[in-house]
Chain A
Amino acid sequence: MAGAGGGNDIQWCFSQVKGAVDDDVAEADIISTVEFNHSGELLATGDKGGRVVIFQQEQENKTQTHSRGEYNVYSTFQSHEPEFDYLKSLEIEEKINKIRWLPQKNAAQFLLSTNDKTIKLWKISERDKRPEGYNLKEEDGRYRDPTTVTTLRVPVFRPMDLMVEASPRRIFANAHTYHINSISINSDYETYLSADDLRINLWHLEITDRSFNIVDIKPANMEELTEVITAAEFHPNSCNTFVYSSSKGTIRLCDMRASALCDRHSKLFEEPEDPSNRSFFSEIISSISDVKFSHSGRYMMTRDYLSVKIWDLNMENRPVETYQVHEYLRSKLCSLYENDCIFDKFECCWNGSDSVVMTGSYNNFFRMFDRNTKRDITLEASRENNKPRTVLKPRKVCASGKRKKDEISVDSLDFNKKILHTAWHPKENIIAVATTNNLYIFQDKVN
């Protein structure tokens, strides 16, 4: 599988795992989002308990030139808290649905985090100096009696132990009736969009009391509701372009220059369906759970229940590539519907050079597809493989018939172990994979 360097197959090795070992998972510890910042130095996670944990990559070890820096805890804070809307009798979960980093402009780092209703802009800043030598204050903060002061001195900054502080700088609230599923920062670095089931709003990062509605698909009569918005994202380069996906498997590309309300799409991406193949499950499994532009901006990737599709923005009538994630589940749809797994929302991501895409599956398996070699691989996030620099063994699921040694049969898969969130370092072959409550970091073998 070609990596960023091209040519040789990547060999993925376990690097680190974060989180508790015990099987009894507290609901608050369920990881709900994972995101690298633009340089890849920082890695943020959000969980169902409304907490954000940020890891920072250590500077590369000068003595061990062949090992990349480890990720260690940099900052952690409570981003959102549970709320109750008494007027609507609505319980508002504190679960962090998405985190998006702003590009770094100064010494501080900024990120947007959102739950179902409220988006917050957080500033994460370092403090490694403190002023000492005040005239009117003792070192411990007590005030000195001014009459005892006989000489004057100039306070100076002295180094102190690094302190990382997170503070909420903006709170963007009360703009969404339905549940926010996506946030996306515009390439103008001044605005961002937030999308819920039926509406998309445009915000300015500096302005919290006003938001523009740019997409509204709410029907006049709710009985006529047939589809909802499942994800939205701004184009990485064109500040006027964004896309949103639907529960019916369509993607709409909108141009904000066309009109203030982008209800009419500029492009509609939809793969035609063979009507004779239609079943009760067709629409459910066609629902798009994630949409991501390639770094180049030429392509976009969508994830539906069974597959990953790559679309060329210049071609609306079908995807240019389709990769089957776990086709063997097609003959299990009845039970997957009964246990609600058919509604699981898997995310997907690109590597830095747009040559490989990755997505999660069940049994703590995750899959990678190389777009150039057309080879794919299935790996497992498990503590059993946790020796650093040991190459991960590819996994294989046996769909039917005789199970070979080392293969696992479909019926043995653990559907409670789902990998919904994965992230790829923007420049290196380092990936972060979230199981239910653990975060795994894998790197390619450096040799």
Chain B
Amino acid sequence: MSAEIPEAASAEEQKEMEDKVTSPEKAEEAKLKARYPHLGQKPGGSDFLRKRLQKGQKYFDSGDYNMAKAKMKNKQLPTAAAPDKTEVTGDHIPTPQDLPQRKPSLVASKLAG
């Protein structure tokens, strides 16, 4: 580090470098922050918990769907989004295809085979 840098910053950077050397966890944290600079200030907090509590939530509003269908008129119906577990909200109007009827497994478990 050059001599022009003020004392306080130099000491802080020194500690950061020490942390990276002594703590693999802090090094990993730095890597993460570098990749996702907008990651929430509150570590492991409400975001995770809320996501966890909302598991299984599917959004389908028949009113929205029918209005979107009416607006489309001759155009195509709103198409289904990627058939995975991402939250379907916002601009995208969910279609019945986004919420497939879950059929129970009629097949016997392979452990019993």
Contact = CB atoms under 8 A, between A and B. Distances in A.
Interface of A: 18-20, 28-29, 31, 45, 47, 49-51, 53, 73, 76, 78, 81-84, 88-94, 116, 178-179, 197-198, 222-223, 225-228, 247, 277, 279-284, 287, 330-334, 337-338, 343, 437, 439
A188 to B, nearest CB: 32
Interface stretch (B47-55, B67-75, B76-84): B47-55
A420 B32 CA distance: 26
B103 interface: yes
Contact of B23 (A179, A277, A283): A277
A20 B110 contact: yes
B46 A197 contact: no
B43 A50 contact: no
Q: Which 10 A-B pairs have the closest CB atoms?
A: A82-B102, A283-B44, A331-B24, A49-B105, A81-B104, A333-B28, A20-B110, A279-B29, A76-B112, A334-B28
A363 to B, nearest CB: 20
B111 interface: yes
Contacts, number: 140
A35 to B, nearest CB: 14
Q: Which of B24, B48, B57 has the most CB of A within 10 A?
A: B24
B43 A19 contact: no
Name A's interface SS.
mixed
Interface string B88-110: 00000000000101111101111
B111 A53 contact: yes
Contacts of A225: 46, 49-50, 53
Nearest to B94: A89
Contacts of B101: 84
Nearest to A218: B53
A156 to B, nearest CB: 33
Interface of B: 23-29, 31-33, 35, 39, 43-46, 48-50, 52-53, 55-60, 99, 101-105, 107-113
A211 B35 CA distance: 47
A271 B49 CA distance: 22
A53 B112 contact: yes
Contact of A334 (B31, B45, B103, B107): B31
Contacts of B26: 279
A279 B28 CA distance: 9
B111 A19 contact: yes
